[in-house]
Each structure stands twice: as C-alpha cells, then as structure tokens.
Amino acid sequence: MISEEYFYAIALRECSQIGDIHFHKLVRTFGSAQEAWKRAKKEYKRLEGIGQKTVSDIGNEEHLKFAEEELNFCEKNNIQIRLRHLNETPFLLRECNDAPAILYQKGEINDSFPKVSIVGTRNMTSYGQQFIVEFFEASQSSQYTSVSGLALGVDKEVHEQSIRTGKPTIGVLAHGFQFLYPAKNRRLSEKILEEKGALITEFSSSRKPDRENFIQRNRIVAGMSPATIVVETGFGGGSVNTAAFANDYNREVFALPGKITDTSSQGCNQLIFHNKATAISTIKDLVNILGFNDPKEKMEELFPYSETQIQLSENQYLIYQSIKDQPQISLDDLSQKIEVSTHKILPIILELELLGKVKSFSGRQFIAI
C-alpha cells in the first residue's frame, strides 16, 4: 500500500507554479508534501521567495484526482515512485538543487555501484562506436553502472555494450511510462530491465516525449554520475547541454576529440577548447581517472602506441635508461650522472613525457614508466 505522502507529492508537483525547487522548499518548510498541501496556501508567508500566486493552485481537487490515477497506473505497471525528500532517489542526484522531486522507476538501481554517464549524438560514426566498445572492454573487470538517455546512436550503443559486458545500465526517459521513444528501442528497454538495470523518468505516465522534455531530462543524466563522457556531438547538440549541466553540478566532463572537419566531433572539440571538458587521449588514462582500474592488458589504446614501435634517439635512450636505473632521480643528479647540462636535458625529458616513457614529480624528480 502506497502511503499518502506519495499521493500528495504527486498532486503537489502537478500544481502549475510548483517546480522541483519550490517543491523542495515547501516540504522543507512544512515537513512533508501532505502538510504542504494542507497548509501552504494559508501560511505561504513562511516561504521565502514564494508568493501567493505560486501557491494559488495548491488544493485543486483536479490534482488529487490526477494523483489517484497516477498511483493506480504505477501499481498496475510495477512502477516504483521515488521521492527526493524521503531520500529515495539516487544520492548524487539528490545533491543537485534542481533535482527531480519525484522519480518514476522500473527495475532496480544499486546506489552502491559507481556510475558514469555517457552521451552523444544520434548520428554516431564508426569512430564513436569503436570508442564505446573499447571503453567497455577496457573497464570490464570493474563494477559500475552506466547512465544514458535511451536515444538512438551513442545512447543505444552505451546501453547495448553495458549489457554485453555484464554492466547494469540506466536509461533516463524524456516522457512518461505510457510511451517509449524511440519505439525502435522497445526490445532494448526490456533487455535493460532483464539484465538488472533500470528505466527512470521524472515525468508522469501521460507525458509525451515533447521537445523541451529532452533538455530537462539531460540534467538527470548529468546529475546521476560524478563524471559525464561526451562521445560525439555537433555544435549545439543535446550532449553539449548535458555537459553544461554536469559543469554546473561541479562534476567531471570528458570529451572525445576528433577532426575539426567532422561535424560529429565539433561539439566535443568546442567543449575541450573552452575548458568545459577534459580531452580523452587514451582509454587507459580515462579508465584510471574514473577509478575503473585494472583494465585488460590486451586492450589497445584509442590512439595506440607500442613500445617496440617507439624508436628512441641516442640522447632520449641515455636519459630514459638513467632515470630507469635510479627512480626519482633529481634533475641536478641526472645532469651530474650523464654529464649533460640541465637546460639540454629538460627538452628531452619533455619528449619522453609526451611519449609516455617518463613521469615528472615536484622538485624536478623523475621516474621511468
């Protein structure tokens, strides 16, 4: 039996002037959605920044009828209702000031698993697809949940690769559960649930997939995870919008760079250029930064290099071998050891760092990798 709090929460959120931020302020002030429904209209002066007009729709009997129908629909269709103010929504999402007051959920979310949001264009290229496949291969030994938007293109590939590699995945919908958009993904949505993933939406059951809903949906995708990966997107694409939300929430954003002539990479390149995302150089580095350590040894890099293919010059080899023989050697000691001045050593060390052969530390100390 669903408690009355869910009933009044749905009714309250349906009020014309009550968005997620106002909803949170109401339940914080009055202690519950039920109390806010009963008292807010008379006691609105207790609410900072909320006037009489904002609360005027509270108490409308039509919203109570709507809430009753919504509860019945959810019960018949095995849909769980999650309330933010009861700490039932994913904990990272709850940190966002504009987080949904209500989430409707099918399936299960293990909130103890780390999450990563991966988004991109519907017009995915083979470059983007290769990246997604190799990312999931490289991180297969780690336990995490992927989050995406269940659209075509990148989103679809993310959900499919998650399932293929045994990772739970969450599809965030831009509509209510009476619909599924795009219809082509119906079997995929069923597979997500079969493989212990979840479908979630902030929209009540009858909400159609209207254009503006997708932008609203993107903030959930960004808010669910500590990091968002933008695979491919054009200028002004929806994924740029998702990255903007992630930046606002002080989350990490990574973008896959591409050719400046490729329209599907222009949005990613723009994010990187404006310091709104960190460029992905290798999958190994990305997996390590995300904390998904122990990538498969056999995985090649996205931009691969092989040790056997790197031909070091005589000076590069001399410096590399000297650092390898004496880990954390200082610049001065290295200079003394090989009898080469420091100003000649530094450019060669930079070359070795770019080749991934040497790493520098504070105090001008170096180790071989």
- Distance CA(77)–CA(269), nearest Å, equals 43
Residue 211 has pLDDT above 70, yes or no: yes
Rank 5-14, 323-332, 345-354 by mean pLDDT and report only the highest. Answer: 5-14
- Distance CA(39)–CA(44), nearest Å, equals 8
**What are the tens digits of pLDDT across the range 82-110?**
999 999 999 999 999 999 999 999 999 99
Whole-model pTM?
Answer: 0.79
Residue 186 has pLDDT above 90, yes or no: yes
Q: How confident is the model at residue 315 (pLDDT cuts 50, 70, 90)?
A: confident
- Distance CA(333)–CA(342), nearest Å, equals 10
Residue 35 has pLDDT above 50, yes or no: yes
Q: What is the mean pLDDT of residues 290-300?
A: 61
Residue 340 has pLDDT above 60, yes or no: yes
Mean pLDDT, the chain, as a whole number? 91
Which residue reads 């902030």 in tokens? 202
Residue 346 has pLDDT above 80, yes or no: yes
Query: What is the Rg, in whole angstroms, of the alpha carbon atoms belonging to the chain?
Result: 26
* Residue with the larger pLDDT of the pair 150 and 296: 150
- Confirm if 3 and 9 have CB atoms less than 8 A apart: no
Rank 7-11, 303-307, 328-332 by mean pLDDT and report only the highest. Answer: 7-11
Q: How confident is the model at residue 304 (pLDDT cuts 50, 70, 90)?
A: low
> Which pLDDT belongs to residue 236?
84
Residue 295 has pLDDT above 70, yes or no: no
E strands, the chain, where? 80-83, 102-107, 115-119, 145-148, 169-172, 198-201, 227-230, 252-255, 278-279, 329-330, 358-361, 365-368
Q: Is the dihedral of CA 324, 327, 330, 335 positive or negative?
A: negative
**Among 77-86, 89-98, 242-251, 303-312, whose mean pLDDT is lowest?**
303-312
- Confirm if 299 and 137 have CB atoms less than 8 A apart: yes
**Among 281-285, 287-291, 310-314, whose mean pLDDT is lowest?**
310-314
Residue 296 has pLDDT above 70, yes or no: no
**What are the tens digits of pLDDT across the range 58-90?**
999 999 999 999 999 999 999 999 999 999 999
> Which pLDDT belongs to residue 307?
40
